[in-house]
Amino acid sequence: MPEIVHLAERSPLVSPEELLSGFHPSYRFGEVSFDTYIPDPTHPSQAGAVERLQRFAASIQGRKSKESGGLFGFLKSNKKKASSEPTGLYLDGGFGVGKTHLLASLWHAVPGPKAFGTFVEYTNLVGALSFRQTVDVLKDYTLVCIDEFELDDPGDTVLMSRLMRELADAGVRLVATSNTLPGALGEGRFAAQDFKREIQVLADQFEVLRVDGEDFRHRGLVEAPSPLPDEQLEGVLGQNFPTAGVVAEDDFEALTANLSRVHPSRYRELVKDIDVLVLHNVHTITEQAMALRFVVFADRLYDKDVPVIASGVPFDQLFTEEMMASGYMKKYFRTVSRMTALVREGQLADHS
């Protein structure tokens, strides 16, 4: 029998040191590589992105070799004009085209010290350590990867732009991703233009890599399963996950209430030992603050690849129509996509 826990009753504490130690690809991307990324042949930009990132990784490895070659090598490697490589790369594309897979593959391919985290995780790190201490820690890193760069929060975007500028000035290579808004998927470099505008003085130091394609989470797969009747959740859990170690079982209302009390920087700790999540009575979230917290929570579930079994409304009704058309729409679309994938794993035992 699995151990049953309730996330609604947890209130984890996380030290700044623990936050920093978590800046690596999640379990889902813990062993990926450029070889495990399968480009869609109908979208050549995917294979092109792999080739470009491999060259970028090789340039970083070469620079590290020069830095270890004595004073002459160190001075030569620090002459910015001597390098043909840009300070950073930006992967521009829609949902589920594999940008995070590519970013994690790059992280695995280069020497450390290095950091990998989402935009939100970096802003949380600054909040925990202070801006200056964060710069002092990261300025000696070889590579800093920023997944899901947010373009809809002016304050945090200015903060991250300043952090990236100071790291770039220290010689750190930067690579970022974000999602094109769903309503602009046919409009070329919509998100790239926004990204370059927001990072201001760094814009001309970033090379944009377009990654086109369909959401792999729905490419050739069955439709997302409907929510289950509440009385069937336990049976599906036992059938699909007979050897599960730790199962979180929560009423959706109680879980979201606790998410409002726990800082988002602690959500990774909240779910760190969970094998399966069983949610009773999922309902549409109507408050924006709660919706944004659930976005972060869903990202942590997806990072850890936690299957979900749920009753209530389907996850494509998790947010209101107004939210799905708002300035935060890209976050909500990403959450719907990711939760759909986790429900497919939980209720169909489909790990495609």
Band (pLDDT 50/70/90 cuts) for residue 82 is very low
Lowest mean pLDDT among 166-170, 172-176, 186-190, 331-335: 186-190
Average pLDDT over residues 42-50: 95
Q: Do the Cβ atoms of 343 and 303 come closer than 8 Å? A: no
pLDDT at residue 188, as a whole number: 43
Lowest mean pLDDT among 87-96, 139-148, 221-230, 256-265: 221-230
DSSP 8-state code for residue 96: T
Closest CA to 283 of 257, 260, 261, 305: 257
Of the candidate CATH numbers 3.30.470.20, 3.30.160.20, 3.10.50.40, 3.40.50.300, the domain formed by 31-214 belongs to 3.40.50.300
Q: Average per-residue pLDDT in the chain? A: 85
- The answer on pLDDT for 349 being more than 80 is no
pLDDT at residue 75, as a whole number: 42
- In angstroms, the CA 170 to CA 268 distance is 30
SS3 349: coil
> Residue 98, Cβ neighbours under 10 Å: how many?
23
The one-letter code for the residue type at 25 is: P
Q: What is the dihedral of CA 231, 234, 240, 244, to 10 degrees?
A: 160
**What are the residue ranges of CATH 3.40.50.300 in the chain?**
31-214
pLDDT at residue 14, as a whole number: 82
Contacts of 43 (CB under 8 A, 6+ apart): 97, 212, 213
- In angstroms, the CA 63 to CA 66 distance is 5
- In angstroms, the CA 291 to CA 43 distance is 33
CA atoms within 13 A on the CB side of 322: 6
- Tell me the C-alpha to C-alpha distance, in Å, between residue 272 and each of 5, 103, 110, 267, 340: 12, 22, 27, 8, 20
pLDDT at residue 69, as a whole number: 52
Q: At what angle do helices 119-129 and 154-169 cross, to 10 degrees?
A: 80
> Burial, 308: exposed, middle or buried (Cβ in 10 Å; 0-12, 13-18, 19+)?
buried
Contacts of 164 (CB under 8 A, 6+ apart): 88, 144, 146, 174, 199, 202
Higher-pLDDT residue of 348 and 170 is: 170
- In angstroms, the CA 165 to CA 320 distance is 37
pLDDT at residue 77, as a whole number: 45
Q: Do the Cβ atoms of 143 and 172 come closer than 8 Å? A: yes
Pair type for strands 173-179 and 308-312? unpaired
Lowest mean pLDDT among 6-10, 180-184, 218-222: 180-184
Closest CA to 96 of 342, 338, 343: 338
Higher-pLDDT residue of 3 and 79 is: 3
> Residue 145, Cβ neighbours under 10 Å: how many?
24
pLDDT at residue 328, as a whole number: 81
Higher-pLDDT residue of 82 and 165 is: 165
Average pLDDT over residues 286-305: 93
pLDDT at residue 201, as a whole number: 73
φ, ψ of residue 245 to 5 degrees: the values are -85, -55
SS3 209: strand
Closest CA to 340 of 291, 307, 311, 312: 307
pLDDT at residue 179, as a whole number: 62
- The answer on pLDDT for 154 being more than 80 is no
pLDDT at residue 158, as a whole number: 84
pLDDT at residue 17, as a whole number: 79
pLDDT at residue 330, as a whole number: 77
Q: Do the Cβ atoms of 102 and 29 come closer than 8 Å? A: no
Band (pLDDT 50/70/90 cuts) for residue 350 is low
pLDDT at residue 281, as a whole number: 97
